[in-house]
Amino acid sequence: MTGIDEAILNFTPGSLMLLNAILAIVMFSVAIDLTPRDFQRLIHAPKPLIVGLISQFLVLPALTFALVWVTEPRASIALGLILVAACPGGNISNFITHRAGGNTALSVSMTAFATVGAILITPLNIAFWGSLYGPSRDILRQTAIDPVSVAITVGFMLILPLIVGITLNTRRPDLADRIRKPLQLISFGIFIAFVVLALAANWAFFLQFAGAVALLVILHNTLALAGGFGCASLARLSEFDRRAITIETGIQNSGLGLVLIFGFFNGLGGMAVVAAFWGIWHAISGLGLAAIMNRREAAR
């Protein structure tokens, strides 16, 4: 039987480019629902954004290391969990926050700030927390993450579609109104189709290795959601903001994680399986949580 670190997932560079393009379309479909006024409110009341970024870049990595320290998984799996936690919130988090009736502008702001900050903070978090766990230290010594490559990737995935979407909604609100609903439905449908096809293409690997990571990923995702909710609750934020921070902390950019794994860690099997399973599970848990939250309107 092939070991998890010898497994090569059927996830080509072309697939990664397609994933980035799909996530950019999802980001654009959310951005056309926003205007600069949504972000001006955050400038005058920055507390929710600050709390969200603390939850994203400090609390989640710390909770992840605690999970790794207690469970002691093999090095590649541990580093996969740490890398996912070090990534910014995923584009789909904005869509899920919107579906959950949370503060979408806060979610997008968190994603935007976290993504720009990820150019520096993501490599630092991977290096710091990964080096604290002995078995993963040797893997880190053999790799180096290029921040310029990270910047280019996240720029095209997030910042460009965000700017284009908001500009369209500001200058041509009539066109944005016409395409908003169909585009959101189509973009989300394309994303789900991609996840299903990626799972089908790697079904044998998931059957073989998912058991090794499934429970850890589910626990990790649960900790992430709980960490976001706990931070927002301790800061006494409104339910409207709390929903955004909970989802933003629990929905990680596993697509970016896969890009980093294949680009800088040679597609290391344990890391890749963790990120791929995260990409599937966080969509399931996020949509389920959004359905529960959306049963009643959030207090602002």
Domain positions in the chain are: 13-291
Beta-carbon contacts of residue 109 (< 8 Å; ≥ 6 apart): 39, 42, 49
Confidence category of residue 251, pLDDT binned at 50, 70, 90: very high
Average of pLDDT values for 233-239?
94
Please choose, from the candidates 185, 203, 192, the residue with its C-alpha nearest in 3D space to the C-alpha of residue 280.
Answer: 192
Q: Residue 293 in 3-state DSSP?
A: helix
Confidence category of residue 10, pLDDT binned at 50, 70, 90: low
Backbone angles phi, psi at 34, to 5 degrees: -120, 155
How does pLDDT run across 49-100, given as a tens digit for each residue?
A: 999 999 999 999 999 999 999 999 988 899 999 999 999 887 678 889 988 9
Confidence category of residue 211, pLDDT binned at 50, 70, 90: confident
Cβ contacts of 228-232, under 8 Å, gap ≥ 24: 228/52, 228/55, 228/56, 228/59, 228/60, 230/59, 231/51, 231/52, 231/54, 231/55, 231/59, 232/48, 232/51, 232/52, 232/55
pLDDT value for 241:
94
Average of pLDDT values for 128-134?
91
Structure tokens at 180: 């908003």
Q: Residue 219 above 70 pLDDT?
A: yes
pLDDT value for 111:
80
Q: Residue 18 above 90 pLDDT?
A: no
pTM for this prediction: 0.83
Range in 99-108, 121-130, 176-185, 242-251 the model is least confident about: 176-185
pLDDT value for 255:
74
- 48 vs 4 pLDDT, higher one: 48
Q: Residue 205 above 50 pLDDT?
A: yes
Average of pLDDT values for 187-201?
73
Average of pLDDT values for 174-199?
78
For the chain, the average pLDDT equals: 83
CB 299 within 8 A of CB 239: yes
Structure tokens at 211: 């058991």
Instruction: Report the CATH number of the 13-291 domain.
Output: 1.20.1530.20
Confidence category of residue 41, pLDDT binned at 50, 70, 90: low
Average of pLDDT values for 221-227?
97
Average of pLDDT values for 94-119?
84
Average of pLDDT values for 260-271?
78
Q: Residue 271 above 50 pLDDT?
A: yes
Average of pLDDT values for 169-175?
89
Structure tokens at 39: 């972000």
Q: Residue 2 above 60 pLDDT?
A: no
Q: Residue 1 above 50 pLDDT?
A: no
pLDDT value for 7:
59
